[in-house]
């Protein structure tokens, strides 16, 4: 049932948002050099590597300067990218990841291999379900970039504090999830974005 829900909702979303995709693509193209989409390798179901789609919000080759984005005003972020990130609009191309069966609407956010390699055996259970566009951790850590920017050692903060908390929330989701809870998490995500 979850897969049917994902397919129907992703198709509807892609159709409705197609004019928006075109507008955002033109804005990105006119704002800075580089492609419209950013594709990054992430770890998905059962440890399988896939490419997550996002609207490009950073300048070319930014990932080579670090995997973490530190603060909403990270100098690597483009002008239009700032607003796309602020309202989580850069995540919308992931509807195609959902349609292709690589992601779900709700599930643990897919992580880069650099960090999944640090998971202990218990934490690796989060890889037993499809990753999602949103989850409990996305809601709780909506201001993650600001938390990182306030730290003198952002990567250490992420690895030692933020990531373990995210994984605990992911485990909570895995132990008790259904379509109705997914719908609630989706609405809670929209509410959090609008509220802030």
For 68, list phi and psi in degrees, rounded to 5.
-95, 140
* Averaged pLDDT, 8-28: 96
Q: What is the pTM of this model?
A: 0.88
Q: CB–CB of 87/18 below 8 Å?
A: no
- pLDDT at residue 159 above 80? yes
* Averaged pLDDT, 142-164: 89
- pLDDT at residue 56 above 90? yes
**Helices and strands in the chain: count of H runs, count of E runs:** 9, 4
15 compared with 86, residue with greater pLDDT? 15
* Averaged pLDDT, 159-175: 95
For 175, the token pair is 């132990």
pLDDT category, 181, cuts 50, 70, 90? very high
For residue 175, give Cα distances in angstroms to 19, 42, 122, 125, 132: 38, 23, 13, 10, 16
Which of 20-24, 72-76, 93-97, 166-170 has the weakest average pLDDT?
72-76
Q: Where are the alpha helices (DSSP H) in the chain?
A: 2-31, 79-86, 94-99, 113-116, 136-140, 144-149, 154-157, 163-175, 179-195
- pLDDT at residue 66 above 80? no
């Amino acid at each position: 049932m979850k897969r049917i829900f994902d397919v129907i909702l992703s198709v509807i979303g892609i159709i409705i948002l197609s004019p928006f995709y075109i507008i955002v693509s033109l804005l990105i193209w006119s704002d800075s050099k580089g492609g419209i989409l950013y594709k990054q390798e992430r770890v998905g179901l059962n440890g399988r590597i896939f490419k997550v789609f996002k609207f490009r919000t950073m300048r070319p080759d930014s990932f080579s300067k670090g995997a973490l984005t530190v603060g909403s005003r990270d100098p690597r972020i483009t002008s239009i990218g700032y607003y796309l990130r602020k309202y989580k609009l850069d995540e919308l191309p992931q509807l195609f990841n959902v349609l292709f069966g690589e992601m779900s609407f709700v599930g643990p956010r897919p992580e880069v291999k650099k960090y999944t390699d640090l998971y202990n055996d218990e934490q690796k259970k989060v890889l037993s379900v499809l990753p999602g566009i949103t989850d409990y951790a996305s809601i709780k850590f909506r201001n993650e970039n600001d938390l990182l920017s306030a730290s003198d050692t952002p990567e250490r903060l992420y690895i030692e504090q933020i990531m373990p908390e995210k994984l605990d929330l992911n485990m909570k989701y895995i132990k008790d999830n259904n379509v109705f809870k997914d719908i609630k998490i989706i609405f809670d995500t929209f509410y959090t974005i609008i509220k802030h």
